[in-house]
Amino acid sequence: MKKILSILLAGAMLAGCVLTGCSDSSSSKSDSSDGNTAKVADPIEGVKATASTDKYRNYYEIFVNSFCDSNGDETGDLQGIISQLDYLNDGDPNSGDDLGVDAIWLTPIMPSKSYHKYDVEDYYNIDPDFGTLDDFDKLIEECHKRGINVILDLVLNHASSKNPLFTKAVEEVADNKLDGNAEYFEIHKASYFDSDTQTISLGNGYACEANFSQEMPEWNLNSKKTREEFTKIAKFWLDRGVDGFRLDACKYFTNKETDGTEFLKWFYDTCKGIKEDVYMVGENWTDDSDIQELYKSGIDSQFAFKFSTSTGTIISNIISQGGMATAKKIMNYDNKMAESNPNAINAMFLSNHDQVRSGNALESQGLSSQKLAAAVYMLAPGNPFIYYGEEIGVKAPNTTNDAAYRTQMVFDSENLPDIYVNGIGDEPDVPTGGGVKQQLADKDSLLNYYRRIITIKNQNPEIARGRIVGTQGFDDKTVGAYYVEYEDSKLLIIHNFSKNDAKELTITDDMIKNATLRADLIPESSSKHTELKDGKISVPPQSTVIIKSAE
């Protein structure tokens, strides 16, 4: 019935996605400025927020299928994203009317038969489900107007079995020709592969490595032909205005006979030759030592997976109230990565499209715990990545289904989106605080907490750019505190992980000279703001304070 209704009404729909519950950017702004909405004022009186001009940004991951449907076909698309850009960032860092992110990562948008698009058939086009290259060019234009950078998910480990380069290779192998398109892929005699390696049988005794799926043959990353093709692909998108790439499955670059670090250095340097300030972040879900090794390539960032997921450092320690342990782990990780690459920009996140959503993981812990989790990862050095909907507490309707992790964005909980993601459709789980419209009007919402965090970061550039130079224990395991230094500035960031107890702390000149309270993040607006007086400060439960030297 919903599909029929969508088709009948599609022609009458406005660009604001009425049927899907995805309102346009102008309506979002009017909703956020009514008399019931508490705008996020500058947390630091008289201090202006500044837009980023370097590689340090607050990222927002968009699973394109699920974000906003502009035409009523029950699939999110590029025009839908364009309609919501003023919600993400209206271009004025001091307006108080938007979330404030200044970069987005789009999951794969290239033609593919799968709903997730990680098996690419054509690296030079847009999947028809999402729009056209003209739509993409408009998205880039509108993003850059607002100071939003755009990075694309780029899949270099494998392609689709429908990719023309692979289908031609299969034809050639059938004729025993191995010096043509076969060189693009990991094609060998079947006896070459061990029993643990998944392959696609090509006949004539040959096979192609395919560890992810029978529909995903793996590229030969050592091949000159492959590297020439990747150079063309990178140039195609960077020349269109893309600001960088999220590289899928970096962990598997070394799965073959490839030196993953050498390949990554080659690709990063190649992209820098096309666009000097290109930004690149790698997916490397593995041990610290492997992440350190790949940082030697010079790549800007790699995702800090150990801190994410429902069982990762941040959420586990929030549940156990382990503040001190969290601060030490963040410091040790930051320092280790800097040893391999002094310019490394750590990439913290709570959850992504492959994981149980943080809204599910922290639901039983209450809203204050969700807010503390946001403060911990967003205020760590580097570039945080917000998974779309995380800022309003979106939950997955089924925590064992990848498609459910990619459920619909809720802009208005009174007008739910009609979006289907690989069979997951109908009505999504409504976040406890409602959708974007409802949470903009609630000064104590999770969304307004995220907005406040980002404003504070824009007012204090050393939070993202600084290096951690030590922790401060305060003789209390529930307090997580560390120092960051950037240029001539020093901050002390303090998180109180205790669920029930305020912490009475003493700030001495030995800790931070001529200390001043820079900002605070308190779960409930009804609570009084903290005050630093005569070196004493009381930090409420599950709150954060930022202290700076007045020198």
Q: What is the pLDDT of residues 469-523, one digit of tens each?
A: 999 989 999 999 999 999 989 999 999 999 999 999 999 999 999 999 999 999 9
Beta bridge partners of 302: 282
pLDDT of residue 146: 96
- In the structure encoding, which two tokens stand for residue 460, read together? 């204090």
Rounded-to-integer distance, Cα 404 and Cα 400, Å: 8
pLDDT of residue 427: 62
Query: DSSP letters of 43-62?
Result: SSTTPPP----SS---EEEE
Q: Is residue 111 a contact partner of residue 65, using CB atoms and an 8 Å limit?
A: no
Rounded-to-integer distance, Cα 280 and Cα 289, Å: 20
pLDDT of residue 246: 98
What tens digit of pLDDT does each residue of 284-307 get? 998 999 999 999 999 999 999 999
Alpha-carbon distances, residue 459 vs 36, 514, 518 (angstroms): 26, 20, 10
Q: Is residue 132 a contact partner of residue 151, using CB atoms and an 8 Å limit?
A: no
- Per DSSP, helices labelled H in 303-392 are 313-320, 323-340, 358-361, 367-378
Low-confidence ranges of the chain (pLDDT < 50): 1-20, 23-42
pLDDT of residue 45: 63
Coil, helix or strand at residue 463: helix
Q: Which residues, other chains included, contact 366 with Cβ-Cβ below 8 Å and sequence gap of 6+?
A: none
Which of 153, 226, 217, 147 is closest to 184 using CA atoms?
A: 226
**Run of H or E including 22:** none
- In the structure encoding, which two tokens stand for residue 465, read together? 């750019």
DSSP state of 349: B
- 195, with CB counted inside 10 A (0-12, 13-18, 19+), is exposed
Q: Is residue 156 a contact partner of residue 263, using CB atoms and an 8 Å limit?
A: no
pLDDT of residue 99: 96
Q: Is residue 208 a contact partner of residue 217, using CB atoms and an 8 Å limit?
A: yes
Q: So which residues are the catalytic ones?
A: 248, 283
Rounded-to-integer distance, Cα 394 and Cα 378, Å: 18
pLDDT of residue 550: 81
What tens digit of pLDDT does each residue of 241-261 get? 999 999 999 999 998 889 999
pLDDT of residue 319: 97
